[in-house]
Amino acid sequence: MNKEKFIHSIDNIDIPVEKLVARERMAMFEAKKKIRKGTKSSILIACGICLTLIGSGFVVPQMNHVLAKMPIIGELFSYFKDSVGENLAASQLVQEINQRAVSNGVGVTVNGVYYDGGRISVTFKVDHFRPKSKEFWYDVKIADGSDKWERGAQYDGRVTSEGFVGQILIDYPNKNLPQHLTLPLTFTSMNDIKGKWRFDIPIQQLDNKKVSIRQLVQSNDKAQKVNFETMTIGKGSAVIDYTAIHSLIGKSDLARIEKVTDDKGKEIDVLSSGIEFGRKKVDNWMESEERSIIAKIPDNTKFLMIFPYVREYEHDATHSLSEPAFKMHSTRNDVTLTVEQMEQSKNELTIQYTLDHVDTNLSLGEIKNFGENLNLIDSSQIGKDRPSIGHIVKGSTVKVLDKDKLQFQATFKLGGEYGIDDFSLENYSLEAPFSILLPEKTLPPIKVNLK
Amino acid sequence: MDIAQLVQKAKRGNDEAFEQLISSVRHKLYRTAYSYVRNEQDALDIYQETIYKAYTSLKKLKKPESFQSWIIKILVFKSIDFIRKESRHFSTGDEELFVELISKESTDYIDQSMDLSEAFKFLDPKYKTIILLRYYHDLSIKEIANMMNYPEGTVKSYLSRAQKQLRPILKEGYFYE
* ipTM of the prediction: 0.74
- Which fold does the domain B3-86 belong to in CATH? Rna Polymerase Sigma Factor; Chain: A (1.10.1740)
Backbone angles phi, psi at B17, to 5 degrees: -65, -40
Among B33, B31, B30, B37, smallest CA distance to B121 is for B37
pLDDT at A391: 86
Domain finish residue from A204, A219, A238: A204
- Does residue A31 sit within a domain? no
For the cut 60, the answer to whether the pLDDT of residue A236 exceeds it is: yes
- For the segment A334-367, what is each residue's pLDDT rounded down to a tens digit? 999 999 999 998 889 999 999 999 998 888 877 8
Instruction: Please count the residue pairs, one from chain A and one from chain B, whose beta carbons lie less than 8 angstroms apart.
Output: 127
Beta carbons of A439 and B156 less than 8 angstroms apart:
no
Domain finish residue from A176, A204, A232: A204
- Chain B partners of A17 at a C-beta cutoff of 8 Å? 26
pLDDT at A70: 44
Residue of A nearest to B177 (CA): A365
pLDDT class of B114 with cuts at 50, 70, 90:
very low
Rounded CA-CA distance A156/A151 in Å is 15
| Same domain, yes or no: A53 and A182 | yes
C-alpha distances (whole Å) from A403 to each of A178, A339, A364, A372 are 57, 16, 8, 16
| Same domain, yes or no: A72 and A197 | yes
pLDDT at B65: 79
Q: Residue A123 CB: number of other CB atoms within 10 A?
A: 29
pLDDT class of A67 with cuts at 50, 70, 90:
very low
Q: Give the pLDDT mean for A128-142.
A: 82
Residue of B nearest to A442 (CA): B153
For the cut 50, the answer to whether the pLDDT of residue A84 exceeds it is: yes
> What class is the B92-170 domain?
mainly alpha
For the cut 90, the answer to whether the pLDDT of residue A29 exceeds it is: no
pLDDT at A211: 96
Tell me the nearest-neighbour CA distance from A112 into chain B, angstroms.
24
| Same domain, yes or no: A238 and A363 | no
Which residues have CB under 8 Å from B167's CB, separation 6+?
B173, B174
Among B157, B151, B111, B116, smallest CA distance to B136 is for B116
- Chain A partners of B2 at a C-beta cutoff of 8 Å? 386-389
For the cut 90, the answer to whether the pLDDT of residue A234 exceeds it is: yes
Lowest-confidence segment of A89-98, A380-389, B63-72, B86-95 by average pLDDT? B86-95
| Same domain, yes or no: A309 and A322 | no
A325 in B contact zone (CB under 8 Å): no
| Same domain, yes or no: A130 and A274 | no
- For the segment A321-330, what is each residue's pLDDT rounded down to a tens digit? 999 999 999 9
pLDDT at A342: 96
Q: Give the pLDDT mean for A270-281.
A: 85
- For the segment A148-189, what is each residue's pLDDT rounded down to a tens digit? 887 778 777 788 877 899 999 899 999 999 999 999 999 998
* Element containing residue A80 per DSSP (H, E): none
Q: What residue numbers bound the domain in which A381 lies?
A: 317-432
For the cut 80, the answer to whether the pLDDT of residue A105 exceeds it is: yes
Q: Give the pLDDT mean for B89-111.
A: 35
Q: Give the pLDDT mean for A403-408.
A: 95
Comparing CB atoms, the residue among A32, A389, A440 nearest residue B152 is A440
A311 in B contact zone (CB under 8 Å): yes
For the cut 50, the answer to whether the pLDDT of residue A108 exceeds it is: yes
- Chain B partners of A389 at a C-beta cutoff of 8 Å? 1-3
Comparing CB atoms, the residue among A15, A34, A435 nearest residue B30 is A15
Tell me the nearest-neighbour CA distance from A266 into chain B, angstroms.
17
A381 in B contact zone (CB under 8 Å): no
| Same domain, yes or no: A274 and A385 | no
For the cut 80, the answer to whether the pLDDT of residue B170 exceeds it is: no
Comparing CB atoms, the residue among B115, B140, B151 nearest residue A369 is B140
Backbone angles phi, psi at A186, to 5 degrees: -125, 110
Tell me the nearest-neighbour CA distance from B151 into chain A, angstroms.
6
Q: What is the DSSP letter of A61?
A: H
| Same domain, yes or no: A49 and A188 | yes
List the CATH number of the domain containing A253. Answer: 2.60.40.1640
Residue of B nearest to A374 (CA): B140
Rounded CA-CA distance A312/A223 in Å is 11
Comparing CB atoms, the residue among A3, A386, A395 nearest residue B65 is A386
Rounded CA-CA distance A9/B52 in Å is 28
Which residues have CB under 8 Å from B8's CB, separation 6+?
B64
Domain finish residue from A204, A234, A249: A204
Among B50, B10, B12, smallest CA distance to A26 is for B50
A389 in B contact zone (CB under 8 Å): yes
pLDDT class of A219 with cuts at 50, 70, 90:
very high
Q: Do B31 and A15 touch (CB under 8 A)?
A: yes
| Same domain, yes or no: A292 and A223 | yes
- Chain A partners of B44 at a C-beta cutoff of 8 Å? 16, 19-20, 23
| Same domain, yes or no: A393 and A264 | no
C-alpha distances (whole Å) from B107 to each of B44, B111, B176 are 36, 8, 21
Q: Which residue has the higher pLDDT, B86 or A213?
A: A213
Which residue pairs, CB below 8 angstroms and at least 24 apart, start in A341-349? A342/A425, A344/A414, A344/A423, A344/A425, A346/A414, A346/A415, A347/A413, A347/A414, A347/A415, A347/A416, A347/A419, A348/A411, A348/A412, A348/A413, A348/A414, A349/A376, A349/A411, A349/A412, A349/A414, A349/A423
3-class secondary structure, A343: strand
Q: Do A10 and B31 touch (CB under 8 A)?
A: yes
C-alpha distances (whole Å) from B21 to each of A17, A386, B17 are 15, 16, 6
pLDDT at B145: 84
Comparing CB atoms, the residue among A9, A10, A23 nearest residue B44 is A23
Rounded CA-CA distance A86/A236 in Å is 9
Beta carbons of B37 and B80 less than 8 angstroms apart:
no
Comparing CB atoms, the residue among A9, A311, A364 nearest residue B152 is A311
Q: In chain A, pLDDT over 70 holds for what percent of residues? A: 88
Instruction: Please give the tally of structural domains in chain A.
Output: 3
Q: What is the DSSP letter of A298?
A: P
A388 in B contact zone (CB under 8 Å): yes
Rounded CA-CA distance A156/A169 in Å is 8
Among B84, B70, B27, B102, smallest CA distance to A81 is for B84
| Same domain, yes or no: A134 and A200 | yes
| Same domain, yes or no: A217 and A200 | no
- Does residue A427 sit within a domain? yes
| Same domain, yes or no: A72 and A51 | yes
Q: Residue A29 CB: number of other CB atoms within 10 A?
A: 12
pLDDT at B166: 67
List the CATH number of the domain containing A106. Answer: 2.60.40.1630
| Mean pLDDT computed over every residue of chain A | 84
- Does residue A278 sit within a domain? yes
Please state the domain extents for chain B: 3-86, 92-170
B19 in A contact zone (CB under 8 Å): yes
